[in-house]
Structure 1
Amino acid sequence: MLTEVEKEIINFLLNTNSFITAKEIANQLLLSTKTVYRAIKHLNAILSSGDLIISKKGRGFKINYDNYLKEMLKQRSIGSYSTDNRRQSVLTRLLISAPRTLRISTLFNQYYLSKTIVNEDLKLIRDFLKSYSLKLERKDYRVKISGTEADIRHALQDLLIKQNFPDFSLATSRGLDFFLINFCLKQLDFINAELKSEITYPYNVNIMSHLYILLTRYPKLALNPPILTKLTDYDQMIIKQNQQLYSIASQVIKHVEEFLNTKLEPNEIYFLLQYLLSSRLNIMDKIEDEGFQNHLVQGVTNFYIENVVLELQIGEINQDFKNDLQNHIRPMINRLYNQINLNNVLLPEIKREYFQLFQTVVRISSKVAVKFELPPISADESGFITLYFARYLEQNRHYIRVLVVCTTGVATSQLIKTKIQAYFNNIVVVGDAPSSNVQQQIVENAPIDLIISTIPLNKTFEIPVVVVGALLNQQDKKRIEDTITHNYLNQGSEKMLSEVTNESLIRLNIEAANWRDAIIKSAEPLIQAGYATEDYVKGMVKTTEESGPYIVISKGVALPHARPELGAKKVGITVATLKKPINFGNRSNDPVKFVFALCAIDNKSHLKAMSELVNFISDQKFLAQLIQAANPSEVYTLIKEFESRYNENE
């Protein structure tokens, strides 16, 4: 069984077309080089299709794609019965029967196993149950699972989903009941008919597995009905806000009662309602501003968008995308609160195809959970969010057409082409040329946006030229990135922080009555210096009122801003410190001591300055010196010093 580190290394190498060093792998995955070497050695030792990862001295590692495909085919050809399937089947039977005891022989006799293997299986099952606060109790020749009904169902739900429930081809080997699955399918059809729309994957699987668990648990507990959590005032409010869905849930539970000839606990209706609310339904997409947890939904959505934009510098994202993501975030929050997990079958492909974006979203998800006091957000959930951003980027991507030039135009250019395609997902190499034939290739492959050359070119071209080494090292990649950013992303207007602020935009020890007053007073220099109108500053306050305190981007730091069309005249950032810290309503990062008011005229020209600002405010030394500064001149000097320091380190 592969470790998470080994899976990440495989996914990373699958996304790279050329050799890459252990140090580069380690830097990308935040590992030590020793860990990378050890993992690669283990991978090559345990897989039977031959070396999965090949190495070349001085060049690094590359995946052997032929052996990778052989290994994948081998895994797929294995029958439905496996060690994992056996353990899952035993675990499913124990969970369905809990807290009743079962004979060990009843669970394992059909597999013809030694006592050692049986004990090993039970040990692994016991370890699995610990994460759900459940215990596997063994006495003599019998075993049982003990714990709360909620935890038992949670474990069963996850187990069924991981088994590709309701895959009929696997049902027999895993002890599932065809008859019950069919009944669940009919209930799903009923829900779809009532909603006049279809509940799609993976939400349909969650609802079906929940119903299947009801159908299996109640007959086993006929003499001891499950003790369910009492509904709170908040639960009653959710029912009142969602009468249509509650009515549908009531009818489905009535069908289950008729099928089982058993009266279910009334709370079962509410639990099914939660599964409906945790699904992406058309009815949920139409909820108005006062709807279900809207303030929290908007805050989480805005936080994801703001941070992805900052980290990847992808520019401002349109309202249609924001609405679409928000309609995914709403049921996701409900899933988190109710411990409803979604199985993302595309997760391995997402990690492979969108490696950097996925890693970024995972980091932001961790911050979201802390900032908004939510339960941990799983990799599966982060994978779904990654797909939203990936789709947006694909739809709005500008591909840069590149011509590669070297001395001969043969071997070296092919190597450069391979590396460029591996490192830059916004570049398309449309041709290669020897240095003697550049002009002709420009004409034949027009239009050309950028020339990447391994030698200086004597002739001056209207097209930007970046000269790199033949091996395309980290410095070369940085030169290409800078050229693209300067010429295509920021359209020549890439400005540093020191260029978009000045002493007239710096205010120290402002006295503010509340967060609105803090925004207005910190942004006032933008109006006085002609960067923005009064309407723009009013827009900053209104945006915060409507979307919540997501502008508090880190501990003690707020970044108010508004849409350019409200009155932005030129790019500027004010720097303000508050004499007395103010609460903005952000539990995780209040109180605010520093306010940086941003005036942006478009979605690009301020990105370099913003990138620097994010680096500065994450540096405690910078913030400490900012507090100690006696006047605007000292602050501006401090910005220039830190700017120089960061540029030297790049």
Structure 2
Amino acid sequence: MNNLSKREVDFIYLLLGESEYQPISYYAKKLNVSTKTLQSDLKNIRNYMKKYEIKIDARPGRGLLTCAKKEDSEKLLNEISLKIPKAGEESSTERRELILKEMLLKTNEMTSIQKLSDLYYVGKTSIVNDMKYIEEWIQKYNLTFKKTKEGTCINGSETDIRKAIAGIAIRENTRNGLLELFQKEDIDFIEKLLSDIGKKNLDIGDIYYANLLTHILICIKRVRENIHIEDSEESRMIHVHTLEQYGKAREIAEKINEHYNIQIGAGETYYIYQYLISSGFEERGMKEGRERGNDDKCTEFASKLTKRLSEKFGIRFEQDTDMMQGLILHIRPMLNRLEYNIQIQNLLKEEIGRQYPQMVAQCSEVLKELAKEYCLPEISRDEVVNIAIYFQTMLEKKTMRKKVLVVCHSGYGTSQLLAAKLKNEFAFMQIVDVVSGRKVKDMDLTGIDYIIATVPIERDDVPYIIVSSLLSEQDIKAIRNSFMNREQNEGE
């Protein structure tokens, strides 16, 4: 919409609909935002209106009034109407999103089929279907519908409601998405606050920044509406080794209290603390401590994960010390997220899953085993994909796509089946060709890293291993061990 947000479009409709000066507070009340937000919007709206030769006259003590010819106003309205759906013209998906956002942000207010039908100018049957969709969607956050004679609202714990709100905000994946839920000045303030804290040796990984930012914004919005996370025993009993991290959460809470003149209590501070340490919180001293191996559980978890994946891929991942250190620093906040039941969203998980199916599948299998061993809750696919990226990077750095020649004495079909199985089982292999044992005798093997054969061959200039034509589990294990031994010998 040429850089106009939905709120700005609604503002334009209101401005053009007035024939007298109205104070900006008049429009702020209608749009349910602050006057400061609309003052910020005015600059963009004025620039947009220039091409239609429409001006906004602002007079102290009187307010705002558009100055435009009738044909110019109609031209602008026609263009907007083509690009922005009016009430009743939203697609069912857009309408459901709007209803869901409204119900999550106003959990204390009842709505009804009739109210929503009147609001969106659609039949009751459409709204009933919308509500079924929403009811199913909120179940993954342990939320339900509360239905009374007065209407329907979303019911559940405040923590779960906030997770659902975050699920919508982060799914938008843009600043405009946040602007649909939060006021611009709030976003700017929290971004600056996190930036200022970051200058004090606080590192927050970019991938988790949106999660932390969103939950702090939700905290402010809910507290303003007098909806709090209650103080708990946990929030009063922070262990000694976490006091430094909790101090940062308290600093954030105090800055918010001072700026907004609201009360972020112990329960809310603990809420911020949980998301802070689950977002890759790192103090310089803490990093150095972990580099000395002080974080035993995290290091042990990473070691077991790496060892099992090394066995599966036939690659010694632990030799990449830089990536291993990064993996350990990633696993620590992941374990915190699992402890506090904090969900993150990787918006690229489907694409990564399609591009690296083998690595994602193997990581999923090993992480499932480790979750049982460490009595952890189920590790989500989002977390699995994030871990898989580390090992896929190490795999590609380590192997650089080993060029493999397949030598098979069987027919064409069996030979191609063997090659396909090898490709599927070993992501790092580039099958250069499939040839017969007779042909390999006189071949130029320059550039070939390895030979996998089903018959003995009379060559000693390239390492090779003999397997069965159908590639048994024993063969797969032997190939992995062979590659691991080669990697180890090359690294010594």
Pair in the same fold by TM > 0.5: yes
Q: Partner amino acid for 1:460?
A: E
Matched, 1:278 2:278: yes
Decide whether aligned partners of structure 1 residues 410 and 194 sit closer, same or farther in structure 2, where only a CA change above 3 A counts: same
Quote the Cα distance in structure 1 between the aligned partners of 2:91 and 2:323. 43
Deviation of 1:390 after TM superposition, in Å, equals 1.7
Deviation of 1:441 after TM superposition, in Å, equals 4.0
Which has the higher mean CA deviation after the structures are superposed, 287-296 or 151-160?
Answer: 287-296
| Residue aligned with 1:145, SS | strand
| Residue of structure 1 in register with 2:375 after alignment | 373
Matched, 1:387 2:389: yes
Contact 1:89 1:175 in 2 (8 A): no
In the comparison of the two structures, how many residue pairs are matched?
A: 399
Quote the Cα distance in structure 2 between the aligned partners of 1:85 and 1:287. 48
Decide whether aligned partners of structure 1 residues 293 and 308 sit closer, same or farther in structure 2, where only a CA change above 3 A counts: same
| Residue aligned with 1:373, SS | coil
Quote the Cα distance in structure 2 between the aligned partners of 1:483 and 1:394. 21
Decide whether aligned partners of structure 1 residues 446 and 136 sit closer, same or farther in structure 2, where only a CA change above 3 A counts: same
Deviation of 1:392 after TM superposition, in Å, equals 1.9
Partner of residue 143 from structure 2, selected from 94, 118, 134: 134
| Residue of structure 2 in register with 1:149 after alignment | 158
Show CA shifts across 1:219-247 (max 9, x none). Answer: 323xxx52514143884225x6343x444
Decide whether aligned partners of structure 1 residues 195 and 91 sit closer, same or farther in structure 2, where only a CA change above 3 A counts: farther
Deviation of 1:381 after TM superposition, in Å, equals 1.0
Which has the higher mean CA deviation after the structures are superposed, 371-380 or 427-436?
Answer: 427-436
Show CA shifts across 1:512-560 (max 9, x none). Answer: xxxxxxxxxxxxxxxxxxxxxxxxxxxxxxxxxxxxxxxxxxxxxxxxx
| Residue aligned with 2:102, SS | helix
Contact 2:169 2:214 in 1 (8 A): yes
Decide whether aligned partners of structure 1 residues 417 and 311 sit closer, same or farther in structure 2, where only a CA change above 3 A counts: closer
| Residue of structure 1 in register with 2:108 after alignment | 99
Contact 2:407 2:434 in 1 (8 A): yes
Matched, 1:307 2:308: yes
Quote the Cα distance in structure 2 between the aligned partners of 1:184 and 1:348. 30
Matched, 1:194 2:192: no
Decide whether aligned partners of structure 1 residues 103 and 175 sit closer, same or farther in structure 2, where only a CA change above 3 A counts: farther
Decide whether aligned partners of structure 1 residues 299 and 108 sit closer, same or farther in structure 2, where only a CA change above 3 A counts: farther
Deviation of 1:178 after TM superposition, in Å, equals 3.6
| Residue of structure 1 in register with 2:210 after alignment | 205
Quote the Cα distance in structure 2 between the aligned partners of 1:449 and 1:325. 29
| Residue of structure 1 in register with 2:221 after alignment | 216
Contact 1:202 1:342 in 2 (8 A): no
Quote the Cα distance in structure 2 between the aligned partners of 1:235 and 1:287. 26
Deviation of 1:112 after TM superposition, in Å, equals 3.2
- RMSD over aligned Cα, in angstroms? 4.2
Decide whether aligned partners of structure 1 residues 386 and 316 sit closer, same or farther in structure 2, where only a CA change above 3 A counts: closer
Q: Partner amino acid for 1:195?
A: N
Contact 1:161 1:206 in 2 (8 A): yes
Quote the Cα distance in structure 1 between the aligned partners of 2:219 and 2:122. 32
Q: Which aligned pairs between 1:51-130 and structure 2 lie closer than 5 A? A: 83-102=92-111, 104=113, 107=116, 109=118, 111-130=120-139
Partner of residue 168 from structure 1, selected from 175, 185, 207: 175
Contact 1:351 1:358 in 2 (8 A): yes
Q: Which aligned pairs between 1:597-616 and structure 2 lie closer than 5 A? A: none
Quote the Cα distance in structure 1 between the aligned partners of 2:207 and 2:193. 16
Contact 1:188 1:204 in 2 (8 A): no
Deviation of 1:91 after TM superposition, in Å, equals 2.0
Quote the Cα distance in structure 2 between the aligned partners of 1:290 and 1:418. 42
Decide whether aligned partners of structure 1 residues 484 and 190 sit closer, same or farther in structure 2, where only a CA change above 3 A counts: same
Structure 1 residue runs of 5 or longer lacking an equivalent are 1-77, 492-601, 605-650
Matched, 1:183 2:184: no
Show CA shifts across 1:101-121 (max 9, x none). Answer: 245555565543321221122
Decide whether aligned partners of structure 1 residues 373 and 84 sit closer, same or farther in structure 2, where only a CA change above 3 A counts: farther
Q: Partner amino acid for 2:206?
A: Y
| Residue of structure 2 in register with 1:333 after alignment | 335
Deviation of 1:212 after TM superposition, in Å, equals 1.6
Quote the Cα distance in structure 1 between the aligned partners of 2:478 and 2:84. 53
Quote the Cα distance in structure 2 between the aligned partners of 1:293 and 1:156. 36
| Residue of structure 2 in register with 1:446 after alignment | 446
More helix by share: 2
Decide whether aligned partners of structure 1 residues 415 and 267 sit closer, same or farther in structure 2, where only a CA change above 3 A counts: closer
Deviation of 1:329 after TM superposition, in Å, equals 1.5
| Residue of structure 1 in register with 2:257 after alignment | 257
TM-score (norm 1): 0.52
Quote the Cα distance in structure 1 between the aligned partners of 2:360 and 2:178. 33
| Residue aligned with 1:202, SS | helix
Structure 2 residue runs of 5 or longer lacking an equivalent are 1-82
Q: Which aligned pairs between 1:463-478 and structure 2 lie closer than 5 A? A: 463=462, 475-476=470-471
Deviation of 1:276 after TM superposition, in Å, equals 1.6
| Residue of structure 2 in register with 1:594 after alignment | none
TM-score (norm 2): 0.67
Q: Partner amino acid for 1:299?
A: E
Deviation of 1:382 after TM superposition, in Å, equals 1.4
| Residue aligned with 1:326, SS | helix
| Residue aligned with 1:129, SS | helix
Contact 1:207 1:276 in 2 (8 A): yes
Show CA shifts across 1:247-293 (max 9, x none). Answer: 44333323333443322223322221222211224427515269999
Quote the Cα distance in structure 1 between the aligned partners of 2:365 and 2:322. 24
| Residue of structure 2 in register with 1:460 after alignment | 458
Decide whether aligned partners of structure 1 residues 160 and 440 sit closer, same or farther in structure 2, where only a CA change above 3 A counts: same
Decide whether aligned partners of structure 1 residues 399 and 105 sit closer, same or farther in structure 2, where only a CA change above 3 A counts: same
Deviation of 1:205 after TM superposition, in Å, equals 0.6
